[in-house]
Structure 1
């Protein structure tokens, strides 16, 4: 008598990513020609996940963040292509009014400099109450109460008194907390933090980064953390996307990128991070040369002129991303000669 095979456990239901960006391209048209600031970037981000986007200044990180949010769209002087789906909604297919309705409730951004993000002639409470009255339909009294609660949530002491102060009356760290509170005011599902610790001292930087992480975990909010400093995203993100000259060169689990970087550029960035175990006055490795001019980018790998592993193939043929984005060990890398698992991070 043949025994029937035992039924297998049902597969877990597929989880639809909150953010799906496919082949995103953003160009600025200048008098000298088009500048391709973002060139074919594809990313996914699930609910509650944190993604770090890193790279040198000018690599396209901030432009990508603004494009994902829909702040940069097709228009005079700009060209945007590709698909950005947020919760199944095509951000760039919306009308301007549709995108404005999305901002604050579905996606919000923390900008680099809080002094330019805050209106100097408006009180802190007014900054916070305006958006909740517009998007949530709260009364003036209800909006005031929520504003004070948001200030308390981001760790600002005496929130009632601070709500009646102007931005210039607060410290830099408090102003950044106000900007974070503004971003959280309407309960967005995705938060994009663009260099949120710029111009803050080291102690305050840690406080702000820890605050963002705790809020993300508490609210199950997806977060994109943009930074030129890899140490900022270490230990605070689930995955890291490394950008260079507008392109994605490596995309993998955070631990994999730091422990086993596969792209020479990722390796060089990690090697340049100061380490406590090095003797005093030790010179850090530096990446020679400069990023390419995006008006006239090189035909092959854009990192080839600065890479010690470059060959003739690298100079003439642009590498494509290879690997599996879901592989926690290797991820994907765009390199003809990726680093092996036994090679340490060196500049």
Structure 2
């Protein structure tokens, strides 16, 4: 999965949580590479392992106690999980940063906005208080917050949800990271603000030449703002490739079902929305074969007994399915078999 120009290389990454009910393989053998200036969308239902993957890549989840992490994560050629904890912490900010789902819980409610920004700047860039304050004002201005100097003196609860998320983005960008992991960055925001935040992230990636891993269950948000997409189900990658071909002609039944469940503006009023029948598997006891087989209308005995291996299909894509959708494989366009 690695490439000569890859900034981030993830190979056979596995994150297992040991619980009283059994082991939960939240991330189970995921691989991908991400180059500078490229945006990769990570999509799937809640519980598919997207957020755990993002946190494991950043080094926030490490082996020890009730958790086991294996596989390789290389950032700029360095193995993240082989670094000492102190060296790993030095990566957070200048090398890799994360925009978390809920800005109200990721920001400290008893610290002013300015403190969140200046602490990061002073710790990593070793600048003076005055320099950090000046840069903090500039960062807030860059992310579109009006009256940035005044906002530095406010607490998170005094800001709207959209402005709080912009503060989180400004904090993540404070030290010019090479990789930005955006974990559901528009959660709980209204549609207008969602578009503003996604447009902001896209413009910042283009201006700074960063790589971005965009974690989302919103296929519409991913469709127009990513170069490639990786579809996850029950901890595994079921399909990956350039965003446009994957969304135009999905090769995996799960990807096709996700796209079919999106409401369409052209549908008549009261049209019944399509859903994916059944429930995701119990991750302490996953199926022996394809994990989507119990919910798949095309499943055969082979699907239920043998775990599919990812194979290359036309269009530079990979799909882990015993019976990939023929329309995608043979014709490269359309939905269905």
TM range (shorter): over 0.9
Separation of aligned partners in 2, 1:315 and 1:15:
38
- Residue number among 151, 162, 185 corresponding to 1:173 in the alignment: 162
Match of 1:332 in 2: 318
Q: How far is the alpha carbon of 1:132 from its aligned partner? A: 0.7
User: After TM superposition, where is structure 1 displaced by more than 3 Å over at least 4 residues in a row?
Assistant: 342-347
1:345 aligns with 2:331: no
Deviations 1:212-239 (A, max 9, x none): 0010001001000001121110110000
- Residue number among 25, 29, 35 corresponding to 1:46 in the alignment: 35
Is the CA contact 1:154–1:181 (under 8 Å) kept in the aligned structure 2? yes
Q: How far is the alpha carbon of 1:33 from its aligned partner? A: 1.3
Separation of aligned partners in 2, 1:89 and 1:282:
52
Match of 1:193 in 2: 182
Separation of aligned partners in 2, 1:275 and 1:89:
44
The within-5 A match list for 1:89-168 is 89-168=78-157
Single out whichever of 173-182 and 229-238 deviates more from structure 2. Answer: 229-238
Q: How far is the alpha carbon of 1:346 from its aligned partner? A: 5.5
Is the CA contact 1:108–1:188 (under 8 Å) kept in the aligned structure 2? yes
Q: How far is the alpha carbon of 1:99 from its aligned partner? A: 0.6
Is the CA contact 2:48–2:233 (under 8 Å) kept in the aligned structure 1? yes
Q: How far is the alpha carbon of 1:25 from its aligned partner? A: 0.1
Q: How far is the alpha carbon of 1:345 from its aligned partner? A: 3.3
Deviations 1:271-304 (A, max 9, x none): 1111112212211210000000010000000000
Is the CA contact 1:56–1:244 (under 8 Å) kept in the aligned structure 2? yes
Is the CA contact 1:59–1:244 (under 8 Å) kept in the aligned structure 2? yes
Is the CA contact 1:270–1:345 (under 8 Å) kept in the aligned structure 2? no
- Residue number among 214, 232, 253 corresponding to 2:242 in the alignment: 253
Is the CA contact 2:325–2:336 (under 8 Å) kept in the aligned structure 1? no
Question: SS of the counterpart of 2:31?
Answer: strand
Separation of aligned partners in 2, 1:238 and 1:193:
15
Calculate the aligned-residue CA RMSD, in Å: 1.3
Is the CA contact 2:10–2:73 (under 8 Å) kept in the aligned structure 1? yes
Single out whichever of 69-78 and 334-343 deviates more from structure 2. Answer: 334-343
Unaligned runs of 5+ in 2: none
Separation of aligned partners in 2, 1:39 and 1:67:
12
Question: SS of the counterpart of 2:303?
Answer: helix
Deviations 1:34-60 (A, max 9, x none): 110000000100000000000000000
Match of 2:9 in 1: 20
Unaligned runs of 5+ in 1: 1-13
Separation of aligned partners in 2, 1:156 and 1:187:
19
Match of 1:205 in 2: 194
1:301 aligns with 2:296: no
Separation of aligned partners in 2, 1:163 and 1:260:
47
Separation of aligned partners in 1, 2:96 and 2:235:
23
Is the CA contact 2:41–2:229 (under 8 Å) kept in the aligned structure 1? yes
Match of 2:224 in 1: 235
Is the CA contact 1:54–1:228 (under 8 Å) kept in the aligned structure 2? yes
Is the CA contact 1:70–1:91 (under 8 Å) kept in the aligned structure 2? yes
Separation of aligned partners in 1, 2:9 and 2:44:
21
Structure of larger gyration radius: 1
Question: SS of the counterpart of 1:18?
Answer: strand
Question: CA distance change for structure 1 residues 267 and 330 in 2, over 3 Å: closer, same or farther?
Answer: farther
